[in-house]
Structure 1
């Protein structure tokens, strides 16, 4: 039997407290990129009861994604936005999900994320990472931006940390490991980094701004 919305919400209140859960429920978070990092962030936030997620990606689920991304083998070939929305609604059927199947550019990004309180950058491309971080910091002074650097390989997961770079900018990762240097991305380490970003989102929403 599927719990009602009230039952689901009460379970979250029992875990997080009524005041915190109200803030989560009223929040809008944009997740830009739905690969290993973004799909993990989205899953954590849906479980926490974030009320509204904006999911943005232009890619399709590939079999090579399955070892580290929150997709299923029967979703290979689907748009990542559609597959992710379906998976999140299985976890939390009461969440509002807005999807944009598009590649973000400097020209089109701002209107797609303007409703968000917090933006999570989860791209593979360094150029796309820089574009999004710079756009938010320079043009959207009411928003926080979370990004990442370094989560590849079999190094200790304890090396992955979150730090506050500036007033509205947070960075998660080990700051060193490179996907192109030897072993690539490993599911468990990617999940740790995604969870770090998601946890920082929750902390920001309840007013705990230090990493």
Structure 2
């Protein structure tokens, strides 16, 4: 648009010089002034790019994937374009979940499923990627609005529901099983579930769903004092499920929902949220594209710049029946 308006200004300039009657220059000057005003407005107009059919490594300013495809050229990733084949579900579009969704969208993941029942509030502005004009919208709708502008190539599905209710849980399970994006995919319809919820009950629901579906997932959390957090890889039957050994950061049972009910709120730092979201997405990419090492458990303490890692073995006396069933199946497979 800016180029077209500049061309119009040049045409008006030429027209003014060619007119034999100088009295008409006033009208041309008026038109020129209006076009200049439109040119200034055009500089601040949002730019919407068209969809890109194939990822390319071509180094040009108009290629949104050149820096990502460079990972392939440098030998880090064998085939980065495979990212478009994968579906990732993000449960909880809050401080960690919203940033993780933005990162995966910029990375060009094929499909994102977003789950949350809450609305955007001004109190969220210190840590989420939402904008003040989106206050009052559901987090899922606001996320789709923002993410589709960032990368229209990503297929976005939003579910405004509470997964801890009976109906919400059924819809959650059904959506994870849906294979419409990749009908030939084995197992469930998604490749990875990311839990970014802020309460113990929702974590246990995600754990139950993934154990039932034999669905690999990653859990994440930030402490109520906002100075530490963790991510954890959970493979049913192979690693500890959330019921086997919940991370210490949430083991006390003090979570954001509990604090809100008591009339106080948890502390929140966008820096801690960003670190945990970054670690979560980094390990998601490593898991999906099969490069590097994915830690079963990775902690973060911002006060000491400490990143502890540990193995998370399944508990043979876990209280979750679906987990025990997956453990038995895995043990049988190892014995064959």
- TM-score by length of structure 2 reads 0.54
Question: Are 1:145 and 1:168, in contact at CA under 8 Å, matched by a contact in 2?
Answer: no
* 2:173 counterpart of 1:110: yes
Determine the C-alpha separation between the residues in 2 that align with 1:36 and 1:107.
26
- Correspondence for 1:188 among 261, 271, 284: 271
Unpaired stretches in structure 1, ≥5 consecutive residues: none
1: distance between equivalents of 2:103 and 2:72?
A: 14
SS of match in other structure, 2:64: helix
Equivalent residues of 1:152, 1:186 under 8 A apart:
no
Displacement, 1:90?
A: 2.1
What are the Cα deviations for residues 78-105 of structure 1, in whole angstroms up to 9, with x where unaligned? 1111111111122212111111111113
Work out which of the residue numbers 189, 198, 217 in structure 2 matches 1:145. Answer: 217
**1:153–1:183 Cα contact (<8 Å) kept:** yes
Distance 1:134 1:170, change over 3 A: closer
Q: CA deviation at 1:35?
A: 0.8
CA contact (8 A) 2:220 2:232 kept: no
Q: Aligned runs of 1:6-21 on 2, under 5 Å? A: 6=54, 7-16=63-72, 19-21=78-80
Question: RCO (CA 8 Å, sep 6+): is it higher in 1 or 2?
Answer: 1
Check the 8 A contact 1:163/1:170 in 2, yes or no: no
Point out where structure 2 has 5 or more consecutive residues left out of the alignment.
1-46, 55-62, 178-188, 296-336
Indicate if the aligned counterparts of 2:88 and 2:194 stay in contact, CA closer than 8 A: yes
Is the Cα–Cα contact under 8 Å of residues 145 and 169 in structure 1 kept in the other structure? no
- How far the C-alpha of 1:165 sits from its partner, in A, is 5.5
Residues 144 and 168, structure 1, Cα contact 8 Å, conserved in 2? no
Q: Answer whether contact 1:150 1:176 (CA < 8 A) is retained.
A: yes
Moved more, 85-94 or 16-25: 16-25
Deviation for aligned residue 1:3: 6.8
Alpha-carbon contact 1:121-1:132 (below 8 Å) kept: yes
Give the C-alpha shift of residue 140 in structure 1: 1.3
Work out the CA distance in 2 between the residues paired with 1:153 and 1:3: 42
Q: Whole-Å Cα distance in 2 between the matches of residues 169 and 80 of structure 1?
A: 31
Displacement of 1:162 in angstroms is 3.8
CA–CA distance in structure 1, aligned partners of residues 234 and 155 of structure 2: 30
Aligned residues: 204
Report the alpha carbon displacement of residue 74 of structure 1 after superposing the two structures with TM: 0.7
Contact 1:32 1:55 in 2 (8 A): yes
Partner residue, 1:210: 294
Tell me the CA shift for residue 75 of structure 1: 0.6
Paired with 2:95 and 2:116, the residues of 1 have a C-alpha distance of 12
Counterparts of 1:24-173 in structure 2, within 5 Å, are: 24-105=83-164, 106-114=169-177, 115-137=189-211, 139-141=212-214, 143-153=215-225, 155=227, 160-164=229-233, 167=238
Write the deviation string for residues 143-179 of structure 1: whole angstroms up to 9, x where unpaired.
Answer: 2111123344353xxx6454545546799xx843766
* CA RMSD after TM alignment: 2.8
